[in-house]
Amino acid sequence: MIEQFLNRDFMLAVTEGARTVLNKETSAHQRRGKKSPLDDYSTADLHELEEALGQAAAELGAPEPVPAAAADAPPPREDHIFLPHNQLMAILQSALEQAIAEHDPGKVSSQSPAAGRRRGGATPAITGSSLKGVELAPTVGNRRVWKKMEIATGKWAWLSDPRWALSLVNKIWRDACTGSHPFVDNPATIKVANDAVIIVIGDWGSGLPRARLVADQVAKELARDPHRQKVVIHLGDVYYSGTEREFRERFLDPWPVPKGSEVVSLTIPGNHELYSGGFAYFDVGLTDPRFARQQGCSYFAVETDHWQFLGLDTAYQDAGLFGGQTGWARDRIVNAPPDMRTCLLSHHQLFSAHENKNHPLRTQIEPVLATERVDAWLWGHEHRCIQYSPTTYNGHRLGFASCIGHGGVPEYLVMKEGQTAPAPWEYEYLKRFSTGLEPWGMFGFAVLDLHDERLDVRYVDEAGHEHHRVDQVGVAP
């Protein structure tokens, strides 16, 4: 990921520059002398993209200002890590990086920025890639700005021909809007040993240096107890919009399970994979031999004699359950032996200690929770590490719940040690990565240790430190 494309204000200016280029292209569409990458699209197509970019920018609005009196306060998170829940803006980020990689690779510096590093360390808090000649320097209020003339005039001095990027934006956007990849309603059941080790990572597919540190630590966990069967499950999100290039470079290439390994690899999609229609998720990710056990389906079951782990696709329908998933999950539970325990896995959360957003999942999962046999649920989406107390949701018991979306995207810590969040919040990992003003949290993952009926959960960070554990999870409140 490139530093400037992770800055919200920068991307809003880029969007305006893109609209300027599109406007000029449509005006000159009939009198252009040299061939343009946009020639394959009609004037109406380019006008439509121009208007859609304007709508996307309007929906995002301006960054949250930092009061002048808070000169020692950190800047808004999106000055450093802007990953919008806006399809077209995410596609624009994907297309810009791909166009630069293919046509202007010399415009990118790979030197790690000094700001935001861990003291004495070489790993940047965010990214080590940056556009040459486009500085984002700290200013009053710790905001990050640049010389806007480099972008807003439409000259785009840092990109020799922005039409390549806009042509790619148009293709990805139109493919996704035409329709997502066909949904596959054929879930696999993967039988594993009663003493298997299941490693769960959430929101990991950023390709950032610290995400690769997480992969290194997962590989170390896989090397432990070589006699035990291992499973690695990703809870979704390959950034920015899950394109083929991003899937290969940010997910498959750094995936901690080597090709030919006997380790079981599984992945459910996040919302970012579906921004580009989910085509790369199904046609690139799930066709990799390491993920062959999923049979091309975005949801699955992992089963021992005592536990079943049901991976749910909550992205094909944004924060919902598409296809026959609800009935499939309910039937697996009610038809299982009475002593079989169930853990759900998903990208989107059922609830949160930090936000309260209503979504279809909450009602669609009701028949599953009504079985009163959901013992645990692990999810991602929020880039945090949280463990919740045994609780009830809409009157239904939930013995254990945890957010482990801290695998690959930096997140501000919104609390300090000693502070509490609303019940049923019980634990949040609050160790900071860096020593600067930005309170970045540590990355990490969860290790599920199975011993017949017993399930213990260990939480490990990017440095290999086990910072929390819960033994015998799933006990009803």
Q: Which of 28-37, 210-219, 301-310, 342-351 comes out lowest in average pLDDT? A: 28-37
Residue 477 pLDDT exceeds 70: no
Q: What are phi and psi of 425, to 5 degrees?
A: -55, 135
Residue 301 or residue 422, greater confidence: 301
What's the pLDDT at 74? Answer: 76
d(CA 105, CA 102) in angstroms, rounded, equals 7
Q: Is 87 helix (H, G, I), strand (E, B) or coil?
A: helix
Among the listed residues 271, 49, 54, 90, the one whose alpha carbon sits nearest the alpha carbon of residue 174 = 49
Banded model confidence at residue 77, pLDDT cuts 50, 70, 90: confident
Contacts of 219 (CB under 8 A, 6+ apart): 256
Banded model confidence at residue 425, pLDDT cuts 50, 70, 90: confident
Residue 245 pLDDT exceeds 70: yes
What's the pLDDT at 414? Answer: 77
Mean pLDDT in residue range 136-142: 60
Among the listed residues 208, 168, 200, the one whose alpha carbon sits nearest the alpha carbon of residue 81 = 208
d(CA 255, CA 222) in angstroms, rounded, equals 12
d(CA 195, CA 178) in angstroms, rounded, equals 45
Residue 24 in contact with residue 36, Cβ under 8 Å? no
The amino acid occupying position 20 is T
Q: Which two tokens stand for residue 253?
A: 């290439």
Contacts of 54 (CB under 8 A, 6+ apart): 15, 19
Q: Which of 12-16, 103-107, 153-157, 211-215 comes out lowest in average pLDDT? A: 153-157
Digit-coded pLDDT (tens) for 93-124: 999 999 999 988 888 888 644 443 333 457 88
Mean pLDDT in residue range 212-229: 97
Residue 394 in contact with residue 363, Cβ under 8 Å? no
Residue 268 pLDDT exceeds 80: yes
Digit-coded pLDDT (tens) for 314-348: 999 999 999 999 999 999 999 999 999 999 999 99
Mean pLDDT of all residues belonging to the chain: 88
What's the pLDDT at 113? Answer: 41
Residue 146 pLDDT exceeds 90: no
Compute and round to an integer the Cα radius of gyration of the chain: 23
| Other residues' Cβ atoms within 10 Å of the Cβ of residue 452 | 11
The label of the residue with tokens 């930005």 reads 438
